């Protein structure tokens, strides 16, 4: 942050405000404190019969690699809203949310992944603008070596385990766990 978004001053400083215990960007001209906080990445693993739907990314980072449909949660959305939207945008598919399967922390890059499992409505899907292709995979066919992010590997592994045990539950981990 170089300029104050409230008053335009170029004198922004990094300091600990009174009553706080962390350095913040503070504007000495108008006293605004500019907080910066982690972002939520919301996603959903769409399931259809014994298969799961993955998307091959048409955008950076990880262009060309496979992923569980996910993206930044937007203002005005619940986490489930965001997950459903991402499935629509990346795979032109509608899902019925089943359960939250993973809370995956990437504190070094200030991202918190929250991924659900959901059922594909009618089994229909397409290819969204942010995807090169989309496809249903059985567990044996998952392209493990061409996955975009550890968060998605974590979610996929936990999903297949949950399916074997019959227990649908939330799993928590920090990067780089898979």
Binding site for a copy of itself (CB under 8 A): 1-8, 10, 19, 22, 34-40, 72-81, 99-100, 103, 105, 107-108, 110, 112, 114, 129, 169-170, 172, 174
CB of 169 to a copy of itself, least distance (A): 7
Structure tokens, 144: 């493990």
Q: Which is nearer to a copy of itself, 98 or 139 (CB)?
A: 98
Q: Which residue has the tokens 């955008």?
A: 59
Q: Which residue has the tokens 């298969």?
A: 51
CB of 136 to a copy of itself, least distance (A): 26
Q: Which is nearer to a copy of itself, 63 or 141 (CB)?
A: 63
- Render 94-132 in DSSP notation, one character per residue: -EEEEEEEEEEEEGGGTEEEEEEEEEESTT-----TTEE
CB of 147 to a copy of itself, least distance (A): 22
* 141: Cα within 13 Å, side-chain hemisphere: 9
């Amino acid at each position: 942050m170089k300029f104050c978004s409230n008053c335009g001053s170029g004198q922004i400083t990094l300091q600990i405000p009174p009553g706080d215990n962390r350095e913040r960007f503070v504007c000495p001209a108008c006293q605004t404190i500019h907080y910066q906080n982690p972002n939520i990445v919301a996603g959903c693993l769409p399931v259809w019969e014994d298969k799961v739907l993955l998307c091959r990314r048409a955008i950076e980072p990880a262009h060309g690699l496979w992923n569980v449909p996910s993206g930044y949660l937007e203002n005005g959305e619940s986490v489930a809203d965001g997950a459903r939207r991402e499935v629509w945008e990346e795979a032109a598919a509608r899902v019925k949310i089943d359960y939250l399967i993973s809370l995956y922390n990437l504190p070094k890059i200030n991202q918190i992944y929250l991924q659900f499992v959901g059922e594909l409505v009618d089994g229909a899907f397409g290819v969204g603008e942010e995807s090169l292709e989309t496809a249903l995979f059985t567990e044996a066919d998952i392209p493990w070596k061409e996955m975009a992010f550890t968060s998605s590997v974590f979610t996929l592994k936990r999903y297949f385990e949950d399916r074997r045990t019959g227990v649908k539950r939330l799993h928590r981990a920090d990067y780089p766990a898979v």
